[in-house]
Amino acid sequence: MLSRGRSTKLELAIRRYRDAYLRNAQEVLDERQERHRVIAFLTDVLGFIPASDIRGESLLKGPADLAVRLNGDPLMLVSIPKRDASATEEQFRRVLRFATSEGVYWVLEMAHASIAFHRVLHDEQNTTRVLFTIDLADPLTISPNAQLLQFLQRDAVARKGLELLWNRTIALDPQNLAALLCSPPVVNYLQRTLRTRSMSNFTEAEVIASVKRVLMEGTGAADPGNAPSARSKEQPPAKTRARKGRSTRAVSTQILPGTSY
């Protein structure tokens, strides 16, 4: 979604935030300091405007709880866990009730370096679904964390970034993938492949029954991706002729992920 330049800029903002606020994992902040730290994340990393976008919500009755608004409309609530576990749970339930009453679909839960991003489902049980959790203190995960946080940036939110993140999440749901695996194009492909491998014909019902059995029981294989391909055949070693004074070496043709050729 982000260009390479914007992605690099976001990673730099995460590094600066980490250096400023997350160096000391044992540091205990009071509520005023926690509030300042969270506002710094929302402004310096996500790009929201302090005066117009970030507000304290008195209905939450918690000085460390904030609401992010975009163009005056409520966008997401920010919840900061308390030191006491029971108080944290009660506070989060209070945030969810407020989100339900105000029609807010997103909750950002921040606990020092740990961040969890929730989608409020607005169901009878008043539940949420966690879209992702990240740890900003780990310097090795800055790049993948940036790939997730890009959807929460102010500019991205204005371009339906949160909806895109939600659609990407539910697209990989097991139920959704199971339906795709039993769809006509996939079943037709499996029928052709099985016919090539076994020299036998299989009905659509037989293939779907087998796919459902795999989904329910698994294959028992350590890595199903290592199964032999129907088109793969052992190739004889290529003939090479060594020249005097030189040696022959194998040349790798593997294409690395994210690389264009």
Distance CA 79, CA 108 (A): 6
At 141 the pLDDT is 92
DSSP strand pairing (114-120 vs 106-111): antiparallel
CATH fold of 4-171: tt1808, chain A (3.90.1570)
pLDDT per residue as tens digits for the range 99-111: 888 889 999 998 8
- Residue 129 Cα distances to 107, 119, 189, 222, angstroms: 10, 5, 34, 30
H helix or E strand, kind and range, residue 99: helix 85-102
pLDDT per residue as tens digits for the range 127-175: 889 999 999 988 899 999 999 999 999 999 999 999 999 999 888 888 8
Q: What are phi and psi of 54, to 5 degrees?
A: -110, 125
pLDDT tier for residue 180 given thresholds of 50, 70 and 90? confident
Q: Would you list the domain boundaries of the chain? A: 4-171, 175-218
Read off the tokens for 128: 């949420």
At 211 the pLDDT is 87
